[in-house]
Structure 1
Amino acid sequence: MADFNAFVIIFLIIFIIWLPQAIYQILVWSYWWQVKEYRLDRFWIFLKTADGRQKLGLNIIILKFIVLVFSFIYIPISLLLFFYQDLILIKDLFQKRARKPVITKRINKIYITGFFGIVLTIFAFYFLGFRRALLLGEFALILTPYVGILWTIPIVKRVKKEEIQKAKAVLSKIKPTVIGITGSYGKTTTKEFVAHLLSQKFITAKTEGSENTEFGIARKTQKNVFNGTKFFVVEMGAYKKGEIRKLADIVNPSIGIITGIEEQHLSLFGSLQDIKDAKYELIESLPKEGIALFNLTNEYCRGLYQKARQANNSWKILGYYAGQKRINFNEKPDIVLTPEKISSAGCEFELEYENENKRFYAPIKGLHLLQNLAAAILVARQFGLSWKMIKRGIETLVMPEGTMNVYRIKNNVLVIDDSRNSNPSAFSSALDYLSLIEGKKKVVITNGIIELGDSSDYIHFRLGKEMKHSIDKILLTNKDFYESFKKGLGKYIYKLVL
């Protein structure tokens, strides 16, 4: 009896020390699985980066395994390590830095799976002994979130199928004109601009935020499309070929906009050609009398524009251009926006459309946003909006959250939040905007740009070169890109802080 009581006391001490850090690890790993949309390809790429390993606490996890393997020598060393992890949890909770996923039905099922892993560890204490049970428990902490993802896949597929059917029923009943928007960058802002301008005359629905997956689109269709809705503006995202086609099959767009092509998510697509093919799926999904719009400011979009014109189809092919320098085209853009007066508050620009010249002011921060606005104006004109309506819409534009939002805080400090955008074009454009602000020190805080594949080193090198003269300090939060930025900055390396 005494031996059993001693076992129980030791078990309770070990379990109480082990459990908090175990729960926290499940929370953190579940959080990052959710951020990566439960996709093994995205999570694996994240895991291979130094930033990913740090955020997942992989070094500490490896250390725990090493200590447990050799803990037959002195097991309290393991307890000290677990206790150290508990202190980190307390600190993160106190500083409100603890990572935890958004609560959904799926994440709750993943939590339950993790709970079973903990229960299994409790039973293992009795049958395997403390050291082996803890080893088993640590394996369970890593595996159970993914096991939870795997066994919920059939449930998710069934629910997704039901949601898609409901969305299709809504669209079949209401019959709005659906505008699909895709590209490597500018999707969300273009969607917001298009919907805002059309809403000056028509009842217009849109997907929300950056929701651009099958689930997100299906559910926002049911939520936002109702009787009387004339237009439904849909953002479409993808990481692989075939995914845009699936989204188009849900909403059946009659208008497609490709906002631009670059190396974003190259590590997932595999090649730049695959990115172009994937985005072009939107155009291929249009009906015979569909309208296709291409951003002719972008080199790769110009290629897709020519491809669409050469296709044996009756699509209406339109192109838009925005910028200070006109590029020679085989075909003239249908609309051209040329910035005339640029300030930190907004942009005054000249518009050319069907032999008309107009001048407008837009409260947008960043020249790249003129490209998105050009697409919106072109769509608005296709559906009969007057210049008066368009002017009213332009002057009342509101930027999406995390897209060139400017805040003034204490001591006259300006904070520019462009955290939603994580692509090379937006990064360069944000730097251009900073150059318009005079008389202030300029500090860039960046995590770098993820999932660029083989292009990552060159792109971060190029961004470093762009910043070496115009930026006073660069605070880099991801050491994966340190060497690339360092090479780009050259002798101005002193500006870079990791």
Structure 2
Amino acid sequence: MNLTSAELAARLGGVLHGPSTDLTKFATDSREAGPGTAFLCIQGAQVDGHTFWPQALAQGAAVAVAEREVEEPYILVPNLVEALANLGRSWRAEWSHPVIGITGSNGKTTTKELIAAALRSRGPVLKSPGNRNTEYTSPLVWAEAAGKGIAVIEMAMRGFGQIAHLARIHQPTLGIITGIGTAHAEMVGNREGICRAKSELLQALPTNGLSILPADDDFIQDLRAAAPGPVRTFGFAPESDVVITGYRALSLTACQVAVRVDGTPYEFELPTVGRHNAKNAAAAIAVATAVGIDPATAIADLAHAEWPPMRLEIRERNGVTIIVDTYNASPDSTVAAIRSLREAPIAGRRLAVLGEMRELGDFSEGGHRLVGRALMESELDAVLLTGGPTKFIESEAVQAGFPPERIQSLDAPDPVAIHTWMQQAQPGDAILLKGSRALGLERALEVAPE
């Protein structure tokens, strides 16, 4: 980033109080602030970022961006969200390359990384870092645009209008939706609401903008109707433009995928497992070929993808394989993780720690019961459930015929108790950790051995 605080104030539409200095990065967490940092004072529901400005300043931060007066130097803006939108739009106006917008209930970040890899033959790709996909963090991606080609922008949804807001900033020329699931259903009521909210990305495309959609999704017709221009599809459905014709787990760290791209067959390996990841790869191939990249080149470049942490992340402990899939959880992603564990060849037993899935609204009981039904087909040898709503997982699983003696429960995700339960694993066994981000199930791995 090459910017001064005076230039930042102009782009934000704010007023600089204090001297102008050179900036090198943004931070929303005072612990990450240092020399050259523009610190964003976010007024949250429970935490006020303005109160952390003295700490950021003490660590050398260059300027605060604030909605009220704080210690100088600071940039005063009437509304931080709108100011950041101004910032993003000002940078986007200087961009002449394609912009790919991506959203969906599951797999956004992984698919974004696969798309960026598949596009690498076109030169350096500008992409949303990590999972910075909100109204506070998404506009900041343009600070790193210098020297980049195609942009891949991830967009989160936590209510109606949020994706529309992000799309007005980034002005995508191509849009991809990974799927319509149940994540964040409480924000918009139901899956129909999720489809409407995700479709805001498609509605923001130009009339000739390409929509890339999951052909096997329940809402494919609704998504097609929202697309203003041509449509390209991917998935397991035979009619997909990029259709997955074969999938085989080779281990917990590799799978073989067969696809047909516009009728031509290809095979390749991914350094992970899961039919959902095969679908994410197909989506990336659909994007790359849509912008003119040869399918064989795009497929070969998938090997360069940067796989995000806590998504089927493999950790080895004393001969036991631990699958950390705790970034977040919805019924769809939990069932996918369980199925991935079942399909992978394992020398020993299959175990799972399953935490509750939050933000499901009225679908909470139904979503947990959906996971319970999946347990019956999972061939899991032992399951630990944690969190109140997981009682519906247990009830549905036992009703479907899953042996009740294989299930244990905890009222709350106690890391020590989870760690103790995991101690039953022997070399050759595999343990899946899956639950909503707020549970922090991976903390059980940090418990010191007795």
TM-score by length of 2: 0.71
Which residue identity lines up with residue 206 of structure 1 in the other structure?
K
Name the residue aligned to 2:168. Answer: 249
Out of 215, 221, 226, the position equivalent to 2:142 is 221
Query: Are residues 1:319 and 2:233 paired?
Result: yes
Name the residue aligned to 2:28. Answer: none
Q: 1:320, 1:374 within 8 Å by CA — same for their partners in 2?
A: yes
- Structure 1 residues 108, 200: closer, same or farther in 2, change over 3 A? same
Q: Residue 158 of structure 1: CA displacement? A: 2.8
Name the residue aligned to 2:221. Answer: 303
User: C-alpha distance in 1, partners of 2:124/2:86?
Assistant: 23
After superposition, the C-alpha distances for 1:100-152 in whole angstroms (9 at most, x for unaligned) are x8xx84452799xxxxxxxxxxxxxxxxxxxxxxxxxxxxxxxxxxxxx9999
Pairs aligned (count): 349
Query: Are residues 1:205 and 2:126 paired?
Result: yes
Uncovered stretches (5+) of structure 2, i.e. residues with no partner: 1-41, 56-66, 411-450
3-state DSSP of counterpart to 1:174: coil
Q: Residue 457 of structure 1: CA displacement? A: 1.0
Query: Are residues 1:275 and 2:194 paired?
Result: yes
Name the residue aligned to 1:403. Answer: 311
Q: 2:254, 2:269 within 8 Å by CA — same for their partners in 1?
A: yes
| More helix as a share of residues | 1
Which residue identity lines up with residue 245 of structure 1 in the other structure?
A
Q: Residue 156 of structure 1: CA displacement? A: 7.4
User: C-alpha distance in 2, partners of 1:454/1:39?
Assistant: 25
Q: 2:103, 2:178 within 8 Å by CA — same for their partners in 1?
A: yes
After superposition, the C-alpha distances for 1:354-412 in whole angstroms (9 at most, x for unaligned) are 231222222221111111111110111122223442232123334211111112221x1
* Percentage of matched positions with identical amino acids: 25
Uncovered stretches (5+) of structure 1, i.e. residues with no partner: 1-36, 44-100, 112-148
Q: 1:305, 1:317 within 8 Å by CA — same for their partners in 2?
A: no
User: C-alpha distance in 2, partners of 1:176/1:477?
Assistant: 47
Name the residue aligned to 1:77. Answer: none
1:85-234 to 2 correspondences below 5 Å: 105-106=49-50, 108=52, 158-222=79-143, 224-226=144-146, 228-234=147-153
Q: 1:467, 1:489 within 8 Å by CA — same for their partners in 2?
A: no
Q: 2:372, 2:392 within 8 Å by CA — same for their partners in 1?
A: no
Out of 470, 482, 485, the position equivalent to 2:379 is 470
Name the residue aligned to 1:336. Answer: 243
Which residue identity lines up with residue 488 of structure 1 in the other structure?
A
User: C-alpha distance in 2, partners of 1:106/1:486?
Assistant: 46
User: C-alpha distance in 1, partners of 2:120/2:330?
Assistant: 29
Q: 1:352, 1:358 within 8 Å by CA — same for their partners in 2?
A: yes
3-state DSSP of counterpart to 1:180: strand
- For the pair shown, the structure with the greater C-alpha radius of gyration is 1
- Structure 1 residues 256, 173: closer, same or farther in 2, change over 3 A? same
Q: 2:313, 2:323 within 8 Å by CA — same for their partners in 1?
A: yes
- Structure 1 residues 481, 497: closer, same or farther in 2, change over 3 A? closer
User: C-alpha distance in 2, partners of 1:106/1:220?
Assistant: 23
Q: Residue 452 of structure 1: CA displacement? A: 0.9
User: C-alpha distance in 1, partners of 2:340/2:129?
Assistant: 26
- Structure 1 residues 157, 452: closer, same or farther in 2, change over 3 A? farther
Out of 394, 397, 401, the position equivalent to 1:485 is 394
User: C-alpha distance in 2, partners of 1:293/1:385?
Assistant: 15
Q: Residue 290 of structure 1: CA displacement? A: 0.6
| More strand as a share of residues | 2
- Structure 1 residues 157, 361: closer, same or farther in 2, change over 3 A? farther
Which residue identity lines up with residue 318 of structure 1 in the other structure?
R
Query: Are residues 1:372 and 2:267 paired?
Result: no
Out of 260, 271, 275, the position equivalent to 2:179 is 260
- Structure 1 residues 110, 472: closer, same or farther in 2, change over 3 A? farther
Out of 382, 400, 408, the position equivalent to 1:496 is 408
Q: Residue 203 of structure 1: CA displacement? A: 1.9
